Every structure is written in C-alpha cells, then in structure tokens.
Structure 1
Amino acid sequence: MRATFVLGLDIGSSTTKAALVEVTEEVSVVHVARRRTPSDADDLITAAADVMRECAAAASGPIAAIGIAAMAESGAALDAGGNALTPLLRWDRGVDRSHVHTLLTQHPGLPAATGIPATTKPAAVALLALRAERPDVFGAMRHWSGVADIVAHALTGERATDHTLAARTMLADFGGESWNSGVIESLGARTSLLPELRAPGEPVGATSAAARRFGLARGIPVHIAGHDHAVGAWATAVRRPGETADSLGTAEAIVRVTDAVDIARAVDAGFSIGRTVDGTGVTILGGSPTCGAMLAWWDAEHPEDRMLSQLTVLPTHEWKDGAAIVLPYPSGRQCPAPDPDARVRVLGDTRSPVDRAHSLLQSLVAHARWIRETADDLAGSPTSSLSVVGSLTERIPAWAPLIAAAGVPTSVCAEQEPVAAGAALLAAVRAGEARSDAPVLECTKVTPSHGAGFEDTYRRFLAAVTAEGES
C-alpha cells in the first residue's frame, strides 16, 4: 500500500499541536510541532500556521487531507470583515451565572433537548453575556466562530463546523445536526451568525491560496474533525458500545460509547450526550475541568511541594497509598453531582511532599473512576475496555497503571499527540485515503499498579465527596 501523508491540528486549552501522519496499513506519526494556545483569534491563526508549516515541511510527499480538532465551547465574536471583536472566549472563562438562569427561564427544557448541561460554558451563554454586558460588541457582531472554525476559515475561506462542536453550543438540535433557529432568535441573534454545519465526512472546503501561509498547497480537503476528547477516543478505537476513553489534558474527559441512555437523567448528573465523531454512535461524556489544571493550581498555591516534578518520578507499578484524600475542585465540580461551589479540600494527614503527591494523584484517579462508573450506570452496562489518551500519561508514568488498577482492561496510546494524529487519521478516512474501518493509533496494554489498597482509597474518596455534599 502506498504511503499517504495527512496533517492534523489540535487546538487545546494550553497548547496548539500539529501532527504529520503517514498512513499505510498502519499509522505512523512522522513529526509533531507545538505552540502555546494564544488568547486571541489573529494570534491563534499565526500559531496554527507555524505548527502546520513545520509539519508540512517534514513530509516527503504531498499532503492529502487536513483535520482540525479543538477544545469545545471556545470561540470569538467577529465583525463583517472577519475581524475579532473579542479575545477568544474559552470554555473556562469567568461568566456570571445569572446568564445561565436567564437561558433556562427562556428555555427550561433546553438541557434535555440538546444533551448539554446548563453551565457557563456553551456559546448560548456567551451570547447572552455579550448582549447584556457588551451591547456594542453584540450589535457589531456578524459571525460567531469556534476556534477550529477560525483556523478552517483561514485555510479555506469557508465558515463551517462539525456536529460534535456545534452540539456543545446549546444552539443546535441534539447531536448537532441543525441549528435551532428558535433558540438563536430568542437570544437576539440570527442563524446566519453561526458557521454552516457539515455532516460527518463532509469537508469544510479545500485550501485556498491563503494556505501558503501554512506551508500548504491549494486544493487540499480540510475537515473539522471535532471535539478534541471525542477525536482522541475515536482514534484509539473507542467506537462501539461499552468502549470508553479517559482523555487527560488541562481538563479530563471520560468518553463512553453506548447505544442507549436516558438523556434527561444524564444531563441532570452533569454529563453531555452527543454523537461519535463519525456519527455512528452515541457518547456519554463526563468532564472535569481539573486534571492538568489541578496540578498547575497546586504548584501555584504550594510551590514548595514541586508537585508536577514529584509526580514525574513516582513509581509506576508498586504503589504506596497517600494518607490523605484530596477533593480536586479549585473551580467547582462538573460531574457527577454537579456543584459549582465545590472547592479543594485536603482530608487527612499529609506528611510530606511525596505523600501529598500520592494523595493528589490517587484522588484525581478516583474522581475519574467515579465519572466512568456513573457513565456505566447511565449506559446500563459496565465498560468493556478503557483507552487512556493524553500527554500526561507520558509525563506521569504512574497515572495509567493507577487507572488500570480498577480492574478494567486498559491500554494507553503510544503515539505522540494522539488528538492531532487522530484528526489527521479521520481526515484521511473522509478523503478516501484510508479504509473506513480505519487503522487506529498504536496503543499498548497497561499493567495495573500493585501493592496498595485501591478499593479502600476509592471508598474513602466517595465517602468524602458524599459528606461534602451533605455539609
């Protein structure tokens, strides 16, 4: 089979990454490039151009297709000329929760209808906040574009997005199949404000002459691969009911594929319900805003602990329990049992920086397990296999073995930048350059950690969370 080169981009909360991928019977990541994710649209395009140009230069043949994955619920208001009127309004921005209450007053059934919990993150809330707090900006706005859509427009001149990103705006019908004009107009906006919706497999367009800035030729099909966590799940073969991905980044997401779920019950528990990136299955997605962000918070609050440095050298398989339970919520809990007022609490005697490192990591793993087991309950069946995705598994070798200690068959993606590489692979499939039953990114089986009381630690974590909710 001849080699095909495809290019993937992952616009993450902290870092924007590109991956050059070679597809034959297998998938190989040839080159990766990284830049910090900027805070405004023009700088985002520059950062994307830099990393894509670097990867394109490493290709020994033409680029056959491009895929773009991105964090969801992040975008900018643009004027008629496409100029940004706001910085990038990200999923983790500070928003007055009164705007959420306004949205629910107007549309009380919207969370169950869309499969998206009512939080401060969706574009529906961002638009309400702009209308109330920046009426000058709201009046001048002619486009609302997500971060993936901004880069796709710079490459192609077309404004479009995919179903997984559209669904999370709360402005689309369930699954992101079409924009909900009634909701949009009730916010004082027009459907024309939003990018066109592309069906799974349909490209945004082809690269224009402006793609020279990205080191790319004209005529290359460009696809919005979708929500970063969902792309990483698909790329590591999480595609059938029962299969689950644990995506570790600045935030963490558990992505569970299912064939049935009570949407209203799931949304009440803080979970998002959508579709897989290929549109063939239903996903239950439970998120936590504090994964890598929790480690950064700890290092900022307790620099003497050098938490991240401690975690990188923890033993991989032989584990010593930390003495404390850490409730890892510097900015609230998204799910299960949503609580925007939840905050960090350390329960127990933390004797040393090493002990605190053990306590924090095992508590992060326990919280993710709580999300996964709740998703299993919502799906009506246990997880059959678990794929761990994200660079934190490389930086902190003990993380994946701790996850595997719960007893579910677990693998970890062995490729660099799996979301960017997955976006490239999905683009190859959609462009007809790879089989529809696409090869997946290389994953390796994880040997569980041994020598500790994981079940007791997990029970203590759940008891601490329950006690917090009752206090």
Structure 2
Amino acid sequence: MTAGQPLLAGLDVGTTHTKAGVYRADGMPVAQRQAITPPDAEAIRDTALRLLAECVAAAGAPPLALGVASMAETGTFVAADGAPVGELLHWRDRRAHRQADQLCEAVGREAFFAATGLHPSAKLPLARWIWLRQHEPDLLRSGYCWANTADLVVAALTGTLATGPTLAARTGAFDITAKAYSPGLLDLAGLRPDQMPPVAVDRVAGHVTSSAAARTGLPAGTPVVVAGHDHLAAAWAAGVRAVGQVADSMGTAEAVITPVAAPPPPSAQPTGTSVGPFVDGRSYCLISGLSSSGGLVDWLLDRVAPGTEPDRHRWFSDLVDPSDGPPTGITVQPYLQGRASPEPDPHRTLSFHGIRPEHTLADIGRAVLEGLCMQVRWMLESQMRISGRRPDTVTVFGGPTANPTWMWIKAQVSPVPIVVLPGQQSAALGAAQLAGQAIGVEDVPPTGQPLARDPGSAPEWETTYRSQFLPLVRAADVDTPDSKEQA
C-alpha cells in the first residue's frame, strides 16, 4: 500500500512502445517504465515482463492485481505450451488486401458489418488467416491456437490462454451480438472456434504462476485481467465511461471513441466507423481510426528534423510555435496509409495543396497538424450523426498532447469543447484500473477544464474546414486538372 491506497499494475503493449506501471487506486503513478515494442512475439513477451518486474521492484509493495492491454488486430499462433509459432501478424501488414476483398465477396459487406461491427480490411486477423491458408497452410493445419498480443503476455504470466471481448471483437471472426466466435467466418480460413482464445467474461483470465512470480516479483496467485484494446483502456483511464462521452485517444495512431448503449444498424457501414464491445463488458462503442497521426508527424520529422537533434519532438514543437494564429492556407490530406473513416478509401494518399513560395517549413509543419485535426473533426461529426448525440466535451489524451500548438489547433477546429488530460492517463493506467474493477477496487475518473477557443478566429477555421478541407478529401479524384489548379 502507498498512503493507505491499494496498488494496481498495468501493462500496455502498444504499436510503438510497451509501457508498464504500478499505480495507486486514485491514478497516481508509483513506478513507470517503457521500451520500444519489439517486432517479434517472444521479444514482446520478454520486454513486457522485464518492464513489469522493474516497476514492481520500484513500487516497494505488491500490487493487488494486474491488467494487460495491447494494440488490436495483432497477434500470433501459439503451441500447446503457449510458445509463439511463426511470425507476429501485425495490424500494419497489408499483404492480405486481396483476401479482404474475397471476404467481402464471400460474406457481403453489410452482412459482415452486422455480425462483427467491422469492415473487411487487410489489417483484420481473419483476412491474414485466409492469406495464410492460401500461402502457408501448414501453420493452420497444425492446430495451433491464436493469441492476441495481450493474450501472449497473460499466458506467460498465468499459463492460461484467454482474451477479452474488445480484442476478440477486432479479429473479424467474432459475432458481437452472439458474443461468440462465428464458425462460418472462421471456416473461411480453415479454423475452428477451439483454436481461438476463450473470452474471459469476468475479465480475470488467470493468476500469476510461481515461475512468473519469480520472474516479475508479483506474488503467486495475483489476479491477471485482459484489459483489452489499448485505445479503449486509455479511454477508461481518461474517464470516458458512459453514453454521451467521447474520447480522442492520440498516439502513433489516433482513435475517436464514443460509448453507445447498443450497436448501430448496418446503415452506419458506409462511414467506416466500427462498433464493438466496450471495456465495461456491458455497453458498446463506436470507433473511428486514423492510422497515422503521431505516425505522420514522425514521417515528417524523418525528412526534415536535424540529424543531430537529440529530442526531435521538442524541436518540432518549437518549430510550429507559437500556439495561435490563423490557418496556414495549406490543406493536407493526412492519409499516410489510406483512409479508414469516414468514407473509407484505402488508396487515398498523403498530399499537400496550396503551398506558396512564401510558406516556410514551420507553415508546412503546422499544416500537417491542421490536416490531422480536421480529419479527427470529420470522424467525430460522423459518430455524432450515428449516435444521435452531441457530447458536451471531447476528452483528449496521449503523447501528442504534449505539443501545445497541436492542442491549440485541435481546440479551434473541434465542433465541441475539448478537455486535454495529462500524459499519465494512459492505456497502462486504464489496464490497472480495469484490473481493480475486476476485484472490487474502485477508482475516481479524472476531471479537467475545457481548453480555451479563440472566438475571434473561429469563423476562419470553420471556413477552412468546410470550404477547403472537406471538398478536397471528399473529391472522387484529387488529381483532376481542377484540383491541381487549386493546389
């Protein structure tokens, strides 16, 4: 215990970083560690356990429970002893784009959405399983079981393979209404339901084994919870837990998350918004994703940041300062890896329009942030139409919130006030809090004040969004002569 409060541990295996932490029930961090997420399954598992051990040792007292969250649509097959088999199948892998088309043809786009709440795409594990059936069938014939990234870590700690509803729902083979894997969808890849990890309905997947206790410092028997999809765990930590609230989870990718009482009808399908279980186990949520948000900024920095700069994100923050001013006049389509929502277009590319001779590198950097913020506004407005509700605020959190100019632009562009929470409101904290919920330890959601919006500049930002950004990104072909003349 610390200051009379129970301690809880959390792990988040994210796309870029793996993070571990021990926290008080009020969310105060006691010990935190992070490392680059390795590219293979065994190294991911080892890195997560090493970071956890460092946090437990630094905390000075054992946590009562551990929660594990991870990136979605990523995992590997495992043998009976839980050892990873074959390569890690990553959500960024686009080899299965033809198989996603085959999936759409076999099932039907609307029927697939009605069952899974998802849209056929190359990043879904189901599409990649179909690819494996066609290219590496021996891996599937062997009877190995699938494990999502968080499941791998939980299995290493408990000896039990299990998953959570929010990760099962991202495989593309989980019926969100029946709350079970679909034999018909799995059969497309030659798989069976017993090759899928059981869904831990009560969220306690297992307990720390004696060997894992020796490795991590956790007491043997400590409850371990699959906290699920990292963006949703982070939303929980940010206090977005009920219908009428909205989360903007920022990182390498960015996700807009709106809890809803029930799945929307299949008519929501053309927006590209997905739907699935929420981490509370009772409600659902709308999710719209932008695959390259912080990732797009990293792409830009790879090309323009000085090679000798020790902290290139601080350099970028200084470059785009000050945190005010009018729109740059440059319109950016922020699609480094296609567009998932709204109006999905996997072939839509990154492009810059309207650059003039007087524009500087700082203007181009700010324009990237403008394009990202306007894309997120479009995602949010799409979800507002589906849910039929206008939120009072949007809660924003994640690493990019450290850039004040980015947050200022987001406040100008957003149709509703935004509340920015500090960086500790993370998926690792959410995983710890969800573990606490599973054993009866309650927490207090954070609060924050809305970020100020400049009323004098609001019309100019509104005009830029409505008259420049939306017409460009919604154009059927942005390479027409007319669009080139406007650039």
Is TM > 0.5 for Structure 1 vs Structure 2? yes
Q: Normalised by the shorter chain, which TM-score bucket?
A: over 0.9
**Corresponding position: 1:356 with 2:364:** yes
Aligned 8 A contact 1:162 1:197 in 2: yes
Q: Could you tell me which residue of structure 1 aligns to residue 410 of structure 2?
A: 403
Residue deviations 1:10-30, cap 9 Å, x none? 11000000111011xx32112
**SS of residue paired to 1:257:** strand
**Corresponding position: 1:332 with 2:332:** no
Q: Distance in 1 between matches of 2:429 and 2:464?
A: 35
Q: Distance in 2 between matches of 1:371 and 1:12?
A: 22
Say what the alpha-carbon RMSD is for the aligned residues.
2.1
Q: Distance in 2 between matches of 1:230 and 1:154?
A: 23
Q: Distance in 2 between matches of 1:262 and 1:382?
A: 16
Deviation at 1:413, TM superposition (A): 1.8
Extract unaligned runs of 5+ from structure 1. Answer: none
**SS of residue paired to 1:387:** strand
1:418 maps to which of 415, 426, 431: 426
TM-score by length of 2: 0.90
Residue deviations 1:163-194, cap 9 Å, x none? 01101111111168211122223421111111
Deviation at 1:309, TM superposition (A): 4.9
Deviation at 1:323, TM superposition (A): 2.5
Q: Could you tell me which residue of structure 1 aligns to residue 60 of structure 2?
A: 60
Report how many aligned residue pairs link the two structures.
Answer: 464
Q: Could you tell me which residue of structure 2 aligns to residue 43 of structure 1?
A: 43
Q: Could you tell me which residue of structure 2 aligns to residue 454 of structure 1?
A: 461
Q: Could you tell me which residue of structure 2 aligns to residue 270 of structure 1?
A: 272
1:119 maps to which of 106, 116, 121: 121
**SS of residue paired to 1:359:** helix
Aligned 8 A contact 1:160 1:197 in 2: yes
Aligned 8 A contact 1:33 1:55 in 2: yes
Q: Distance in 2 between matches of 1:468 and 1:277?
A: 37
- 1:175/1:223 CA distance change after superposition, 3 Å: farther
Q: Could you tell me which residue of structure 2 aligns to residue 377 of structure 1?
A: 385
Deviation at 1:402, TM superposition (A): 2.1
**Corresponding position: 1:208 with 2:209:** yes
Deviation at 1:443, TM superposition (A): 4.0
Deviation at 1:415, TM superposition (A): 4.4
**SS of residue paired to 2:282:** coil
Q: How does 1:173-322 map to 2 (within 5 A)?
A: 173-174=175-176, 177-199=179-201, 201-211=202-212, 212-259=214-261, 262-302=264-304, 308-309=313-314, 311-313=316-318, 314-315=320-321, 317-322=323-328
With 298-307 and 173-182 compared, the bigger mean Cα shift is at: 298-307
**SS of residue paired to 1:27:** coil
**SS of residue paired to 2:83:** coil
Give the letter for the 2:462 counterpart: E
Q: Could you tell me which residue of structure 2 aligns to residue 430 of structure 1?
A: 438
- 1:30/1:442 CA distance change after superposition, 3 Å: farther
Give the letter for the 1:36 counterpart: I
Aligned 8 A contact 2:82 2:159 in 1: no
Aligned 8 A contact 2:82 2:161 in 1: no
Give the letter for the 1:293 counterpart: G
Q: Distance in 1 between matches of 2:178 and 2:32?
A: 30
Aligned 8 A contact 2:73 2:123 in 1: yes
Extract unaligned runs of 5+ from structure 2. Answer: 481-487
Q: Could you tell me which residue of structure 2 aligns to residue 341 of structure 1?
A: 347
Aligned 8 A contact 1:29 1:415 in 2: no
Deviation at 1:431, TM superposition (A): 1.1
Deviation at 1:202, TM superposition (A): 2.8
1:365 maps to which of 366, 373, 386: 373
Q: Distance in 1 between matches of 2:282 and 2:132?
A: 35
Give the letter for the 1:203 counterpart: V
Q: Distance in 2 between matches of 1:225 and 1:242?
A: 22
**SS of residue paired to 2:174:** coil
Q: Distance in 1 between matches of 2:446 and 2:87?
A: 34
Aligned 8 A contact 1:154 1:210 in 2: no
Q: Distance in 1 between matches of 2:45 and 2:243?
A: 37
With 185-194 and 127-136 compared, the bigger mean Cα shift is at: 185-194
Q: Distance in 2 between matches of 1:137 and 1:160?
A: 20
Give the letter for the 1:464 counterpart: L
Q: Distance in 2 between matches of 1:429 and 1:144?
A: 27
TM-score by length of 1: 0.93
With 99-108 and 110-119 compared, the bigger mean Cα shift is at: 99-108
Q: Could you tell me which residue of structure 1 aligns to residue 78 of structure 2?
A: 78
Aligned 8 A contact 1:74 1:91 in 2: yes
Deviation at 1:281, TM superposition (A): 2.2
